[in-house]
Structure 1
């Protein structure tokens, strides 16, 4: 009987062990995360250089005054369409009006003095011709005439100066456009050089982009580019209009201006963009490119999940370089012909079991 019991117990144990192995295999299969993978290659073909940029109006102005005074009236609000020469802001000009009245009085006085001096000059000129006046008298009368003439001219120029100052108390639109910013209200104190109103033309836009020195030699005037406006997820066509030849004040980045084509996209000044320049890679330049979406970010670190020989996810930290369209250059951490994970059906982590 003991042998029968031992044999039966051994059979049950083997049966349970076999079931347990099947359950473990099933569990392992269920734990594996389905992923999509790709293989890196060395790239030598033409690529796109992507740089950040910002949209601005090609014609804009911040209006200010040269005079100090209180704001009497603001005639416009943000968003208003204005015409060239339209009144926008008026600054208190009581003191200038008083100076203008004084100048007008000085002009009247100088005019009377000049007329009298001119009559005396003509009279003595005739007397001198008839030898009825001495040379000394003629010289004195000529001097008085020139002094009166200069005083009248000085009074008129003083009036021009006051009128020029008065022009800065009435701020008008330098061109037709849209009011984008209003910095002041009635009663505020205007100071010389302080912005009062901003105006811009909103149907003509451009992009200011910064290109690194390593690539600026491949950016030429007239080159067509694609401009991705991030906030509205629209791509607008543009053309390189200006290329800076100095990075003295821009930290090694060269300023490039792109004129945008007319579009129905709802773009506005200040929107951030990604400008894609078509560039040609040098024949001796080999690059490893991976999709930007496959990159994992942890603070200042960037990495990508690769596949181990045992089909587990391994997080590999990378040093990245330039961005070309939707791909980024890998400087170190990943070599050509290595497999990396593009996407996963579940939450992936370092050491996770995967299948593809």
Structure 2
């Protein structure tokens, strides 16, 4: 008898006259995991657990001394290559003017026309080479600008900080999870279905949703029916969307959904 009661408790499925009631968990449709792309020390942390943040709000900032040097070097390389480019352009203009002048003064003795043509070709080659240097330097400057965007991490969306794994002075490694933000406005209920119930639900179906701890009831809609990642469980996942109104409903809360009787 005790074993039977335990199994019934684990299944958490109650067949009522008004339909089949299943238990589930409130989950967020938007969960953002913030990680670092570069190694460095945390300089400032602007948020704490439970803080509500808006998109583009500052989350934390990393030390930038090393990156400042890299940025200065990239800017200097771009500036020098641009100066060199302008020099070779001026040099080409001077030689071309000389070439035009020599054309007008044909018959001048002692003038080596082939030497002048060779100078033009050499300057053109240097000009093209310098253009490539400028392009490469400009790409490095853009890359450093992207790096600096990742030194001061910003919130990618509105939400609540539910996990914070860093504090000032911590060393951050590439790929390390630093902060997790959860959207508390767009919530869904995650429900596991057994094979015997799958035929009673379909996408778009309206169900009764209940949050027992708040004594809140509303009507939800089946958003998706998803196969479980583990085929050995013989379970199907169902996601139900609902309107939480102005209540403080958060991910992780216990919920119930009722599938109406099929008549």
Instruction: Establish whether TM, by shorter chain, passes 0.5.
Output: yes
The structural deviation recorded for 1:125 is 4.6
Q: 1 or 2, which has the higher helix percentage?
A: 2
Q: Does 1:270 align with 2:252?
A: yes
Which residue, 54, 61, 66 being the options, matches 1:83? Answer: 54
The structural deviation recorded for 1:128 is 5.7
SS at match of 1:196: strand
The structural deviation recorded for 1:142 is 1.9
Which residue, 178, 182, 193 being the options, matches 1:196? Answer: 178
Quote the Cα distance in structure 2 between the aligned partners of 1:143 and 1:228: 76
Cα distance, 1:81–1:177 mapped onto 2, change above 3 Å: same
1:198-237 superposed matches below 5 A: 198-237=180-219
Quote the Cα distance in structure 2 between the aligned partners of 1:123 and 1:216: 83
SS at match of 1:77: coil
Q: State the superposition RMSD in angstroms.
A: 2.7
SS at match of 1:142: helix
SS at match of 2:177: coil
Provide the TM-score with structure 1 as the length reference.
0.59
Gaps spanning 5+ residues in structure 2: where?
Answer: 1-15, 104-112
Quote the Cα distance in structure 1 between the aligned partners of 2:51 and 2:201: 38
8 Å CA contact 1:59, 1:204 repeated in 2: yes
Q: Does 1:159 align with 2:162?
A: no
Quote the Cα distance in structure 2 between the aligned partners of 1:98 and 1:60: 35
Which residue, 90, 100, 110 being the options, matches 2:71? Answer: 100
Match in the other structure for 2:242: 260
Match in the other structure for 1:56: 27
Quote the Cα distance in structure 1 between the aligned partners of 2:230 and 2:97: 70
| Per-residue CA distance 1:260-294 (angstroms, 9 max, x = gap) | 1133443211112232223538xxxxxxxxxxxxx
Match in the other structure for 2:84: 113
Match in the other structure for 2:12: none
Quote the Cα distance in structure 2 between the aligned partners of 1:236 and 1:254: 23
Gaps spanning 5+ residues in structure 1: where?
Answer: 1-44, 282-356
1:1-356 superposed matches below 5 A: 48-125=19-96, 136-244=118-226, 246-249=227-230, 251-278=233-260, 280=262
SS at match of 1:168: helix
Total equivalences in the alignment: 236
Cα distance, 1:137–1:269 mapped onto 2, change above 3 Å: same
Q: Look at both structures and tell me which one has the larger radius of gyration over its CA atoms.
A: 1
SS at match of 2:145: helix
Cα distance, 1:108–1:149 mapped onto 2, change above 3 Å: same
| Per-residue CA distance 1:31-79 (angstroms, 9 max, x = gap) | xxxxxxxxxxxxxx99634433221223331212111111111112222
The structural deviation recorded for 1:126 is 5.0
Quote the Cα distance in structure 2 between the aligned partners of 1:229 and 1:67: 42
